Amino acid sequence: MELLYPTLLGILQGFTEFFPVSSSGHLVIAQQIVPGFSQPGVLFDVFLHAGTLLAVIIYFYKDILKLTFRDYFFLGCATLPATVVGFLFSDSIELLFDNAKLVGLMLMITAFLNYLTDKNIKKRSIGFADVKNPMKTSFVIGLFQAIAITPGISRSGSTIFAGTKYGLKAQEAAKFSFLLSIPAIIGANILQFVKYGNVSEINVITYSAGFLAAVISGYIAIAWVIKLLDTNKFRYFSYYCLFVGVLVVVFLD
């Protein structure tokens, strides 16, 4: 049982990080259900996010090797809002992770964004190179990522919505969203390790089990999301988020 719960949490993190259903929101809900669960700050969550970071790098390593200075610049523009919000309000944000009903309400917002994304990708779409103002587009996508720091708002869901709203092809919006997770996760890891990275408080076996589970499930989730975008089935995530959000608001304290 020592490895069961962290492994299950790792699998949950891997799938929900890239499925547009809010990994942070699901971890809040799951950790309230898991008996006796505790962690310093959100350090265990950070380890799980590190697993999904590795999944992104493995899946997109060819694309990462081809990134140009222009690509890094726009990813930097998109990273800036979440960096500022995370640095200035990290303590306040951590308090939100104890509020399950807030998570439920935010999942309902995520449901709405996913529904709109499915509408967006049915319209005429363009590549990122054809966007009239790529800096503005990148920054707006970054603003949605900053909003998604709130547990229950999906980072991938909100950023893919923002990308498709600006007319990006669904696959390009998804790739930009997943690549954008790399600096976001690295930043969160550094911040949490500085605050809570006391090695004596870390069970290496437990944390490693969660990490590896997140890597494997995250890789599978990326491929699955891209396939669903291809087939205009993003709205299914909308129905799921609405269902879970209502259940959480009604049944969890």
Question: What pLDDT is recorded for position 230?
Answer: 78
d(CA 218, CA 239): 21
Most distant pair of Cα atoms in the chain: their distance: 54
Q: How confident is the model at residue 39 (pLDDT cuts 50, 70, 90)?
A: low
CA distance 202 to 53: 20
Reply yes or no on whether the pLDDT at 129 is more than 90.
no
Average the pLDDT over 14-20 and give the result.
90
pLDDT given at position 37: 63
| Residue 204 predicted with pLDDT over 90 | no
The pTM assigned to this predicted structure is 0.85
Would you give the DSSP letter of residue 201? Answer: G
Find, among 177, 236, 152, 195, the residue nearest to 18 by Cα.
Answer: 177
What is the tens place of the pLDDT at every residue in 93-113? 777 777 788 889 999 999 999
Residue 1: its pLDDT value, please? 44
What is the arithmetic mean of pLDDT over 201-222? 88
Joined tokens for residue 15 = 């799938």
How many other CB atoms are there within 10 angstroms of residue 150's CB atom?
Answer: 20
Please give the average per-residue pLDDT across 212-222, as a whole number: 95
Q: Supply the pLDDT for residue 163.
A: 93
**Average of per-residue pLDDT across 118-138:** 81
Query: Average pLDDT for residues 224-250, to the nearest whole number?
Result: 88
Query: How many C-alpha atoms does 239 have within 13 Å on its Cβ side?
Result: 4
Q: pLDDT tens, 167-192?
A: 888 888 999 999 998 988 888 777 76
Give the model's pLDDT for residue 86.
80
Round the average pLDDT of the chain to a whole number and report it. 85
From its phi and psi, is residue 131 left (phi > 0), alpha (psi between -120 and 50) or beta?
A: beta
